[in-house]
Structure formats: C-alpha cells, structure tokens
Amino acid sequence: MMDAILQDIATLARPALFNIYFALASIPIGFPLAVLLALGKNHQNRLISGFSRAYIYAFRGSPLFIQFFMFYSIMLSLNLSYWKPMGIDWFVMHPLFLGPLVLIFNTSAYSAEIFYGALLTVPKGELEAARAVGMSRWREFRSVTWPNM
C-alpha cells in the first residue's frame, strides 16, 4: 500500500517540477515586460500605444494552446535558415526554452491589462502634484504612480 502511494507521488513529482520551472522561468521576465506594456498602452505616442494594444490584443485574444503551436511552427520554419547556421538550433528548438518563452508572452499580455487598469486608478491630483514640485517622469513613476498601482 505504501509503495503504491510513494510511486504515485514520484509519478506526480516530475510534472510538478516542470510547472515550477515554467513559473520560475516566465514570471521574472513576464512581470517587467507587463509593466512596460501597460505603460506603453497608456503612452501618448500613438505608435507605442498601438504596438502595446496590438500585442495585448493578440496574446489575450488567442488560446495559449494555439500560441504554443504557432511559436513552434515559427521557430521550426526559422530553424534551417536562421538557427542552424548560428549553431543554436539545439537550444532554440528545445521545449524547455520554447515553453517558458510562450508563457512569457502570454503572461505579460494578461498582466499588462491588469497593470493598465491599475494605472488608470492613480489619482490625477497626485500626478499633477508630482509635476508641480518638479519631479522627473522616472521619479514621478517611482514615487507616485508605482506605489498607487
């Protein structure tokens, strides 16, 4: 009886470790990318705002399963012409590289929309006060916008 339980735990441990790896590989990169995308979506420049909106729309509007297939197909088509001559085809085509890469793009799109919503809730009066005292944009973001998000 105990052997069966230990065998089941061993069977479930490997997929659990893969999930932990995917989370640890994708969240540290996806989080800052999401903040940049949220700021880009709120940017006054239409090119930056348009790129951020298109990115978020594309990755939130398509299923993750389809994104995995799409990225694998794109990487496979680039394999012979681009990755193989560079000698990195073994790395780029590996599932432990492609999996977190797709999760980075997907997670950053969903998180960017959350951060964008939080960005819209920052009181305008506080932003105006930061500008009135002469704060730079970076200081305004660090001292006023980010803590209020």
19-70 pLDDT, tens per residue? 898 889 889 999 999 999 999 999 999 999 999 999 999 999 999 999 989 9
Q: Is the pLDDT of residue 95 over 80?
A: no
The structural domain count of the chain equals 1
Q: Is residue 120 part of a domain?
A: no
Q: Is residue 63 part of a domain?
A: yes
First vs last Cα of the chain: how many Å apart?
A: 52
Cβ atoms of 22 and 107 within 8 Å: the answer is no
Q: Is residue 45 part of a domain?
A: yes
Q: 122: which 2 tokens?
A: 């920052």
The reported pLDDT for the residue numbered 46 is: 95
Q: Is residue 32 part of a domain?
A: yes
Q: Is residue 129 part of a domain?
A: no
HSE (side-chain half, CA atoms, 13 Å) at 73: 6
pTM value is 0.80
The reported pLDDT for the residue numbered 19 is: 87
Q: Is residue 115 part of a domain?
A: no
The reported pLDDT for the residue numbered 1 is: 74
**Which span out of 14-18, 46-50, 76-80 was modeled with the highest average pLDDT?**
46-50
- Domain containing 79 equals 2-108
Q: What is the per-residue burial (b if ≥16 Cβ within 10 Å, else e) of 115-140?
A: bbeebeebeeeebeebeeeebeeeeb
